[in-house]
């Protein structure tokens, strides 16, 4: 055994000295490891630099990972990860952008036999002789540490004043339908603010459908594909009345709430009926600032929302489960708010003491959502279609009188983001 170790040490020492220069001054202690591995790595755990004069890149091999410093980012890569993401022709099909490597065939104890870094590229040689190369820029972009520093979805959080000051223009229907620039401008506004308007739309259901299809696939639901609605109580929901509706997001009772809601008011002869819009992420951000523990609770406690309908021929029972605030765990970035006090179901997913703290947190969020300065009121008119990010922006409406007809649809979020990415936007 001892002899084997000595041999290993010699091999490692030689492998690691060869291509890269060592820096004597930046020696780091190797992490705690089982006895034999520690001995082996005593020789390996040193910083190596691409060139003595340019210290742009340095790397160090540890017992179970590779540490790499490049472009001011300190990254740590698991060896299996490094083998799994190999972009060589036999591991990755560049035509389809799909992995060909069978990850299950990678030894979970795998370690590179040799490591080398030049100005632009990391080279790893595996025990079977296979060579993996990674561009250093690619690693920065794709490492956990690199991701952590970025946001997935750049946004501008707003209250009424911020939104008005921004003077976000509505896009003309023609340019939206006929030019990529028009569509791109619309989508950019939509991604940044979570709402966007199209003007000069012919006020029919068919024309609204054409708009929707320019951006995405329409998500057919229990309400149909394209829907019309008036205050005729044709469905068992308050939306189909003349009553006011407090701010909420829709379809919280779906396991995946609809991504986008399109509204186009085709007719209103009467008073009231203005639409209320509130940036849920702006409000949540205020909660995070004031009471981070409440923000966390809202992002951890799972809740049910439910839609039970028995009106006429419509019989539905939908249940969706998830927290009010949904965040990406690696950077705490919000991506979905599920907020509908009408459709919130019985809370039976948490014990009483957590429930009480949850109510307090919900109250803090509600107070933020209800601040008058956060409310954007608009009157929807025939010809002006509104797209709402239903994962972010809450909507509501004022009570109204007279005949009012709205048409619209839900869109699948993936397909909206797909369109945006194809136009070169970060989505």
Ligand X SMILES: C[N+](C)(C)CCCC[C@H](N)C(=O)O
Ligand Y SMILES: O=C(O)CCC(=O)C(=O)O
**Chain residues in the site for ligand Y (CB under 6 A):** 239, 245, 250, 275, 395, 397, 406
Shortest CB 220 distance to ligand X, Å: 11
How many CA atoms are closer than 13 Å to the CA of 277, on its beta-carbon side?
Answer: 28
Shortest CB 29 distance to ligand Y, Å: 59
Q: Which is nearer to ligand X, 188 or 249 (CB)?
A: 249
Q: With CB cut-offs between 5 and 8 Å by kind, which of ligand X, ligand Y, Fe ion, none does residue 237 bind?
A: ligand X
The answer to whether residues 276 and 397 touch, using CB atoms and an 8 Å cutoff, is yes
How far apart (Å, rounded) are the C-alpha atoms in residues 116 and 16? 8
Q: Which is nearer to Fe ion, 250 or 279 (CB)?
A: 250
The answer to whether residues 168 and 193 touch, using CB atoms and an 8 Å cutoff, is yes
Q: With CB cut-offs between 5 and 8 Å by kind, which of ligand X, ligand Y, Fe ion, none does residue 47 bind?
A: none
Q: Which is nearer to ligand Y, 41 or 406 (CB)?
A: 406
Nearest residue to Fe ion, scored by beta-carbon proximity: 250
DSSP for 151-207, please give it: -SS------HHHHHHHTPPPEEHHHHHH-HHHHHHHHHHHHHHSEEEEES--SSHHH
How far apart (Å, rounded) are the C-alpha atoms in residues 76 and 71? 14
Q: With CB cut-offs between 5 and 8 Å by kind, which of Fe ion, ligand Y, ligand X, none does residue 340 bind?
A: ligand X
Q: Which is nearer to ligand Y, 138 or 229 (CB)?
A: 229
The closest of 263, 256, 275 to 391, measured between CA atoms, is 256
Looking at residue 86, the DSSP 8-state letter turns out to be -
Q: With CB cut-offs between 5 and 8 Å by kind, which of Fe ion, ligand X, ligand Y, none does residue 227 bind?
A: ligand X
Shortest CB 322 distance to Fe ion, Å: 18
How far apart (Å, rounded) are the C-alpha atoms in residues 124 and 47? 16
Q: With CB cut-offs between 5 and 8 Å by kind, which of Fe ion, ligand Y, ligand X, none does residue 275 bind?
A: ligand Y
Q: Which is nearer to ligand X, 63 or 396 (CB)?
A: 396
Tell how many helices (H) and how many strands (E) occur in the chain.
13, 25
Q: Which is nearer to ligand X, 203 or 236 (CB)?
A: 236
Q: Which is nearer to ligand Y, 185 or 237 (CB)?
A: 237
Shortest CB 218 distance to Fe ion, Å: 17
How far apart (Å, rounded) are the C-alpha atoms in residues 54 and 303? 54
How far apart (Å, rounded) are the C-alpha atoms in residues 35 and 1? 12
The answer to whether residues 178 and 205 touch, using CB atoms and an 8 Å cutoff, is no
How many CA atoms are closer than 13 Å to the CA of 226, on its beta-carbon side?
Answer: 13
Shortest CB 227 distance to ligand X, Å: 4
Q: Which is nearer to Fe ion, 250 or 389 (CB)?
A: 250
Residues lying near ligand X in the complex (CB under 6 A): 223, 227, 229, 237, 239, 248, 250-251, 340, 342-343
Q: With CB cut-offs between 5 and 8 Å by kind, which of ligand Y, ligand X, Fe ion, none does residue 81 bind?
A: none
Shortest CB 273 distance to ligand Y, Å: 7
Q: Which is nearer to Fe ion, 185 or 250 (CB)?
A: 250
The answer to whether residues 228 and 406 touch, using CB atoms and an 8 Å cutoff, is yes
Residues lying near Fe ion in the complex (CB under 5 A): 250
The answer to whether residues 121 and 134 touch, using CB atoms and an 8 Å cutoff, is yes
Shortest CB 155 distance to ligand Y, Å: 22
φ and ψ at residue 317, rounded to 5 degrees: -145, 105
Q: With CB cut-offs between 5 and 8 Å by kind, which of ligand X, ligand Y, Fe ion, none does residue 233 bind?
A: none
Shortest CB 388 distance to ligand Y, Å: 9
Helix residue spans in 237-376 (DSSP H): 280-290, 292-300, 352-369
Q: With CB cut-offs between 5 and 8 Å by kind, which of Fe ion, ligand Y, ligand X, none does residue 389 bind?
A: none
């Amino acid at each position: 055994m001892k002899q084997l170790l000595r041999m290993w040490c010699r091999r490692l020492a030689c492998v690691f000295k060869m291509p890269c220069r060592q820096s004597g001054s930046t020696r780091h202690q190797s992490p705690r490891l089982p006895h034999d591995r520690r001995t082996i790595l005593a020789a390996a755990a040193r910083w190596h630099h691409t060139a003595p004069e340019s210290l742009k890149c340095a790397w160090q091999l540890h017992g179970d990972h590779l540490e790499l410093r490049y472009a001011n980012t300190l990254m740590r890569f698991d060896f299996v990860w490094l083998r799994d993401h190999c972009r060589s022709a036999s591991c990755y099909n560049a035509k389809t952008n799909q992995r060909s490597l069978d990850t299950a065939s990678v030894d979970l104890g795998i370690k590179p036999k040799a490591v080398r870094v030049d100005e632009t590229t990391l080279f790893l040689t595996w025990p079977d002789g296979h060579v993996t190369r990674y561009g250093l820029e690619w690693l920065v972009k794709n490492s956990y540490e690199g991701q952590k520093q970025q946001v997935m979805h750049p946004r501008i959080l707003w209250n009424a004043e911020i939104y008005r000051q921004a003077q976000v223009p509505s896009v003309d229907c023609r340019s939206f339908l006929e030019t990529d620039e028009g569509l791109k401008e619309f989508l950019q506004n939509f991604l940044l603010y979570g709402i966007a308007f199209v003007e000069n739309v012919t006020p029919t259901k068919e024309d609204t459908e054409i708009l929707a299809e320019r951006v995405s696939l329409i998500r057919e639901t229990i309400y149909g594909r394209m829907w019309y609605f008036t205050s005729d109580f044709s469905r068992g929901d308050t939306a189909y009345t003349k009553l006011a509706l407090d701010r909420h997001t829709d379809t919280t009772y779906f396991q995946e709430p609809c991504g986008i809601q399109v509204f186009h008011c085709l007719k209103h002869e009467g008073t009231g009926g203005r639409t209320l819009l509130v940036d849920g992420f702006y409000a949540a951000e205020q909660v995070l600032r004031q009471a981070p523990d409440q923000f966390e609770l809202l992002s951890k406690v799972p809740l049910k929302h439910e839609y039970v309908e028995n009106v006429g021929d419509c019989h539905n029972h939908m249940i969706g489960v998830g927290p009010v605030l949904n965040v990406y765990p690696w950077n705490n970035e919000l991506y979905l708010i599920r907020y509908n006090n009408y459709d919130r179901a019985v809370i039976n997913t948490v014990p009483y003491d957590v429930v009480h703290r949850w109510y307090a947190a919900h109250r803090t969020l509600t107070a933020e959502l209800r601040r008058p300065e956060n409310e954007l009121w608009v009157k929807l008119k025939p010809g002006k279609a509104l797209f709402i990010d239903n994962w972010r922006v809450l909507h509501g409406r004022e009570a109204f009188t007279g005949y009012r007809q709205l048409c619209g649809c839900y869109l699948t979020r993936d397909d909206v983001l797909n369109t945006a990415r194809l136009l070169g936007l970060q989505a």
